[in-house]
Chain A
Amino acid sequence: MPTILLTLVLLGLASAAYHLGRGKALSVSADGAPLHSLPRYHGYYVALWCGLPALALLVAWTVLEPQALRALMIAALPPELRGLSSQHLSLVVNEVRNVALHGAQPSSAAVAEAARHYTALSATGSWLLTALCAALAVAGLSWGRSRIHADARMRNAVERVVGVALVACSTVAILTTIGIVLSLIFESLLFFEHVPLHAFLFGTEWSPQMAIRADQVGSSGAFGAVPLFAGTLLISAIALAVAVPLGLLSAIYMSEYAQPRFRAVAKPLLEILAGIPTVVYGFFAVLTISPFLRAVGARLGLGIEAESALAAGLVMGIMIIPFVSSLSDDVINAVPQSLREGALGLGATRSETVIQVVIPAALPGIIGGVLLAASRAIGETMIVVMAAGMAANLTANPFAAVTTVTVQIVTLLVGDQEFDSPKTLAAFALGLVLFCVTLALNIVALHIVNKYREKYD
């Protein structure tokens, strides 16, 4: 029976179990015994006993079945095929699977035989699963139902299951994060077998082309990531130079000066900036900002390239304005009104109050917002690909084309690549560095924001 159908059947059984359990509880209470838990909790209890073990078996089976089938099938192969190297063996396994599942033409009698065996195993497994699930469901149902009596603490039992379910959900998120980090670390370790760590972190030349044939010239590959770090820093710095003043000042205007009616309209409008897809910002950078900058540069006698760090940085700055302004606005509003009144009551003007009292009080929160915006800027890819180019120049000149860590990760992984060449593995090392930097920024930002919150709440 297909897995989806089986799942549906199990859910149906569970809902039937609910009604059975509830019905029995109702009849128990009709006999005059006061129930500890409401009848529906008895229903939930029986439904959980009926559904959960069977569903757990289903999940475990789905995960493990391919491995088991493969092992059984290989065990049944003729010895000359079984003795092949692991790479060849997996080719054979794939062929068998293709023959069995998609009706491909077998290349040899042995493969055809294996495919028949595979199909038979698979069918048996499917029946076995269905039978086991059904048995578990029915057994669970009757066990759960047998536990129903007036004093049974079904409410507490259901509560425990809810707790476990919540823990399971958060565990999934945490495990995923750990998995991502581990995969980054392992692939990076492979990379550092080819390229020494110091050459990667401190080398100043980035040219990740590798020779495909031994006789090729000039393509030994250089993996000095400093130009990438420098480009990332340059663009992020430009972006922050745009976003911090604009965002902070607009936040001050919104929270301290604007009329409530204006604020109600303007704040959501400003936050729309955060909802524009980054690709669209990329268009904007390439089609509007870059030509404009070139024209202005030509007028002033500056050579601004078509792809420049400046264009990308400016547009990225506009993109992260909402991060700065929205968070700053929140923390400025959280500054107690009594502080403003204190300053105004001493005869301070509004701007003196804002600059000397409100902003210092809100500063930790504002710094937190800026750091979050910075980690967003560092991780941004699309705008840079479109507006700043791919050339790994080591320069502090904002008018030149530069490239960033994220852009290089994309370039390294796009196209046909061997997955064990340093060129591909370099992407993981870059990703690891990027991850570490943004993680550190986020931790610092959250720490600062939290420290601030303790003070006024």
Chain B
Amino acid sequence: MNQYIPKGTAKVSARGLDVFYGDKQALHHIDLDIAAGEVTALIGPSGCGKSTFLRCINRMNDLVEGARVSGTLTLDGNDIHDRRLDVVQLRARVGMVFQKPNPFPKSIYENVAYGPRIHGLARDRAELDEIVMNSLEKAGLLAEVESRLSESGTSLSGGQQQRLCIARAIAVNPEVILMDEPCSALDPIATAKVEELIDELRDNYTIVIVTHSMQQAARVSQRTAFFHLGKLIEVGGTEEIFTNPCEPLTQGYITGRFG
């Protein structure tokens, strides 16, 4: 089983996707559909290509010297690698949360306001305030930071910083949110909060999350895709993958025999 067509409409769809870094092939012929309104978890051992796949969706791989892509990858049926596509526009539709919290060295308010400002989403200060408050609220951070919006974003704790980064991504009102191991730098309590948040966000956004924690994938996702050595081994409903995987490789990985 090397591909999976979800019942709903596919938000992101890869067909025969190959990615090369210089001479090294990082992804081999990936066919994968990501359904709208679901959390899809990408799991697999380090270097298996799951982050590479994630970073293709908002073309962050463009920043990597010598990266080449072939095959097709579409967002709502439009080719992401089309020459005529505006990368800046794409990244406004596909937000990203990184492994390490990376708030800008600006105030908490300005961190969230940054995206709306550069995309001109607010006509005046009141609208901007509303977007910022809304996003902080959705990210579950508002109550903690309401009284100190003008303090530096770097003054927050690690978990708060990560939720600030999620608020920052939400503020642009994206359709898809990519999360690259968002909890790997957080303690268990902060991780629980972020996972709770991911679950709430599922209703409004399509979420793709790369994670090293099998428990996390099981807790937050509806679909799970298992990558190994640049190949997509298996994809299916999360419960199915974790209880009754088809492939022996998947079985081996989730039971901790390797990886």
Contact = CB atoms under 8 A, between A and B. Distances in A.
A342 B105 CA distance: 12
B104 A339 contact: yes
B170 to A, nearest CB: 11
Nearest to B116: A346
A14 interface: no
Interface string A332-364: 000010111111111111001000110011000
Residue with the highest number of chain A CB atoms closer than 10 Å, among B92, B106, B114, B154: B114
A343 B96 CA distance: 10
B104 A344 contact: no
A345 B114 contact: no
A260 interface: yes
A345 B96 contact: yes
Nearest 3 Cβ contacts at the A-B interface: A347-B92, A345-B96, A347-B91
B60 A348 contact: no
Contacts of A357: 104
B172 A342 contact: no
24 contacts: A336-B102, A339-B102, A339-B105, A341-B60, A341-B63, A342-B98, A342-B168, A343-B104, A343-B114, A344-B63, A345-B95, A346-B91, A346-B114, A346-B118, A346-B168, A346-B172, A347-B88, A347-B90, A347-B91, A347-B118, A347-B119, A347-B172, A348-B118, A361-B104
A339 B98 CA distance: 10
A162 to B, nearest CB: 42
A428 to B, nearest CB: 45
Contact of B92 (A339, A343, A346): A346
B58 A345 contact: yes
Contacts of B95: 345-346
Nearest to B59: A344
State the main secondary structure of chain A at its contact with B: helix
B100 interface: yes
Nearest to A260: B65
Contacts of B102: 336, 338-339, 341-342
Interface in B116-131: 118-119
Interface in B146-203: 154, 165, 168-169, 172
B115 interface: yes
B121 to A, nearest CB: 11
A336 B91 CA distance: 20
B244 interface: no
A346 B105 contact: no
B89 interface: yes
A345 B63 contact: no
Interface in B188-221: none
Interface residues of B, number: 27
Given A342-B98, A345-B96, A346-B115, 18 more contacts: A260-B65, A338-B98, A339-B102, A339-B105, A341-B60, A341-B63, A341-B96, A342-B103, A342-B168, A345-B58, A345-B98, A346-B95, A346-B172, A347-B89, A347-B115, A347-B118, A352-B118, A361-B105
Contacts of A341: 60, 63, 96, 98, 102
Contacts of B118: 346-348, 352, 356
Interface string A173-187: 000000000000000
B198 to A, nearest CB: 17
A361 B88 CA distance: 22
Nearest to B105: A361
Nearest to A364: B105
Contacts of B88: 347-349
Interface in A256-300: 260
Contacts of B90: 347
Interface string A65-79: 000000000000000
A348 to B, nearest CB: 5
A345 B104 contact: no
A360 B152 CA distance: 13
A192 B192 CA distance: 72
Interface string B67-100: 0000000000000000000001111100110101
Nearest to A346: B115
Nearest to B111: A342
B110 to A, nearest CB: 9
Given A338-B98, A347-B119, A360 B92 contact: no
A342 B118 CA distance: 13
Contacts of B91: 344-347
A339 B63 CA distance: 13
B65 A344 contact: no
Interface string A98-135: 00000000000000000000000000000000000000
Nearest to B103: A342
A352 B104 CA distance: 13
Contacts of A361: 104-105
Contacts of A344: 60, 63, 91
Interface in B204-243: none
Contacts of B89: 347
A346 B60 CA distance: 11
B106 A360 contact: yes
